[in-house]
Amino acid sequence: MNIDQIKQVYLLGIGGIGMSGLARYFHKLGCAVYGYDRTETDLTMALVQEGIPVIYTDDAQLIPADFNTPSENSLVIFTPAVPKDLQLKNIFEQRGFELFKRSQVLGFISASRFTIAVAGTHGKTTTSTMIAHILKDSGFDCSAFLGGISSNYNSNVLFGANNVVVVEADEYDRSFLTLHPNIAVVTSADADHLDIYGDESHLIDSFKLFLDRVVDGGKSIVKVGLPFQGDISYTRDGVADAYAANVLVKDGEFYFDYNADGITVQDIRLGIPGLHNVENAVAAITVARLLGIDMDKIVAALASFAGAKRRFEYIVRKHDQVYIDDYAHHPEELRAFLTSMRKLYPSRKLTVVFQPHLFSRTRDFVDGFASVLALADELLLMEIYPARELPIAGVTASWLLEKVDLANKRVVTPAEVLHFVETEQPALIVTVGAGDIDRLVKPLKAIMER
């Protein structure tokens, strides 16, 4: 497919973070863009305000006339999350349209662009957003498709004047195997998505296939310790082609030295907190250096980097109260996040509000979750967010809670979380998870700011 000849686009499931990014991309290119989603959200309302019509009724009569018959100028994109019996989807198929997944469309785009693809079971959103910011802030420029909302640009898609694109490469459903990276980064490969892969070995094989897709003359950058290697290794702590050293926390901010190719750049200030984000920064710096960006510009960009929404995001930051929200939903993500919290605020009582995501993930990693959640001083555990799954017998929040070696713990409802914060006024609280726990952010912020 020649992406540049597309004139009209329809997206089934337009309200997803990745799908909305594609909608904005084609809208920016001047295409007529339309979409359907099941419910109205802040994201779909934002798309409408930007001039992209969105419907919420599964009614084929609402399909624009541009999509009566297939043409080389029309593109229909769907997310696998839409039900198979969706009337709109079936009508497009009956009319002869070929429907493409978001990952396939990203593959078409990357085939005709210089592509920097960032993969990993965790860390990919922050790292890809960080790389895109360095390229933007330094004047190198790029377009970008991100898996979160960039706090610097308040968007999940960025537009550049050149032929360079940064893509968050999603391993779920092997989506990243459609891409054609010139530079590939792998931040992690912990066992996850076992409902798709079956076991860890198949997940690892998929990452190896992703690295095999790097184009001739391209480069792969892989974190040390993974069961495969790239052209360039990196780490936060240890021996690698590129690594950090002298990581310090000063006045609530992280500083580190970057080492590679016999050079050392000292005392780099990172605009976002987190030991894991220091490691992400090492990968981002390495990508920028491959592109020939001046180190002074890289350092300045890292200092101004504000992160991505729901990735170690400060919601309330007062001298007596701190509230941070994070998307972590895998034990290793949680460990990196909570360990950084301890380093930032070693003397404060840490209250963790966590919502497990998926019954299968909770079952597969229950011991890992139990171990890392014990890093909290107080745990408020919400019920498991099912997402695409049906319940699994015996897999409940109470079952997980019993395994957490912590005295101060309980299962709570959203209303009980709000009541707790209203009455207890915790000095340090975090909300963590990939489900709908983010609905608590605005009311919790309102309570704490009162």
At 390, phi and psi to the nearest 5?
A: -90, 155
CATH number at 372 reads: 3.90.190.20
Do 21 and 94 lie in one domain? The reply is: yes
Do 273 and 354 lie in one domain? The reply is: no
List the structure tokens of 418: 């709000």
DSSP for 159-193 reads --SSSEEEEEE--GGGGGGG---SEEEE----S--
Starting at the earlier edge strand, list the strands of the sheet with 74-78: 54-55, 32-36, 8-12, 74-78, 99-101
Do 63 and 140 lie in one domain? The reply is: no
Alpha-helical runs (H) found in 50-166:
87-94, 102-111, 124-137
Do 437 and 350 lie in one domain? The reply is: yes
List the structure tokens of 340: 């950084």
* Mean pLDDT confidence for 284-302: 98
Domain coverage including residue 251: 113-304
- Would you say residue 117 lies in a domain? yes
Do 166 and 204 lie in one domain? The reply is: yes
**CA-angle at 246, arms to 373 and 339, nearest 5°:** 5
pLDDT band at 201 (very low <50, low <70, confident <90, very high): confident
Q: Give pTM, 2 decimals.
A: 0.82
Q: Is the pLDDT of residue 394 over 70?
A: yes
Q: Is the pLDDT of residue 193 over 60?
A: no
Q: Is the pLDDT of residue 199 over 80?
A: no
b/e per residue, 91-123, with b = 16+ CB within 10 A? bbeeeebeebbbbebbbbbbeebbbbbbbbbbb
More confident residue, 193 or 389: 389
More confident residue, 195 or 357: 357
CA dist., res. 325 & res. 385, Å (int): 17
pLDDT at 198 (0 to 100): 64
Percent of the chain with pLDDT strictly greater than 90: 79
Average pLDDT of the chain to the nearest whole number: 93
pLDDT at 388 (0 to 100): 73
At 348, phi and psi to the nearest 5?
A: -100, 145
Nearest Cα neighbor of 365 from 344, 384, 337 is 384
Do 330 and 413 lie in one domain? The reply is: yes
Which of 239, 271, 304 is at the close of a domain?
304
pLDDT at 98 (0 to 100): 95
- For residue 174, what are the contacts with CB-CB under 8 A and spacing of at least 6? 196, 206, 209
- From residue 25, give the alpha-carbon distance in Å to each of 6, 176, 314, 439: 12, 19, 28, 27
Per-residue pLDDT of 402-414, as tens digits, reads 999 999 999 999 9
CATH number at 28 reads: 3.40.50.720
Do 322 and 358 lie in one domain? The reply is: yes
pLDDT at 26 (0 to 100): 95
pLDDT at 176 (0 to 100): 86
CA dist., res. 249 & res. 291, Å (int): 29
Per-residue pLDDT of 108-140, as tens digits, reads 988 889 999 999 988 899 999 999 999 999 999
- Would you say residue 105 lies in a domain? no
- Beta carbons of 358 and 386 less than 8 angstroms apart: yes
DSSP for 413-442 reads -HHHHHHHHHHH--SEEEEE-SSSGGGGHH
pLDDT at 259 (0 to 100): 98
pLDDT at 191 (0 to 100): 61
At 381, phi and psi to the nearest 5?
A: -105, 120
Per-residue pLDDT of 64-103, as tens digits, reads 998 999 999 999 999 877 888 899 999 999 999 999 998 8
* Mean pLDDT confidence for 392-402: 98
pLDDT at 192 (0 to 100): 61
Which of 38, 73, 100 is at the close of a domain?
100
* Mean pLDDT confidence for 262-288: 95
Do 264 and 119 lie in one domain? The reply is: yes
Alpha-helical runs (H) found in 314-436:
331-344, 359-364, 366-373, 397-403, 414-424
**What is the domain count for the chain?**
3
CATH number at 287 reads: 3.40.1190.10
Q: Is the pLDDT of residue 146 over 80?
A: yes
Per-residue pLDDT of 5-14, as tens digits, reads 999 999 999 9
- Beta carbons of 12 and 89 less than 8 angstroms apart: yes
Do 219 and 259 lie in one domain? The reply is: yes
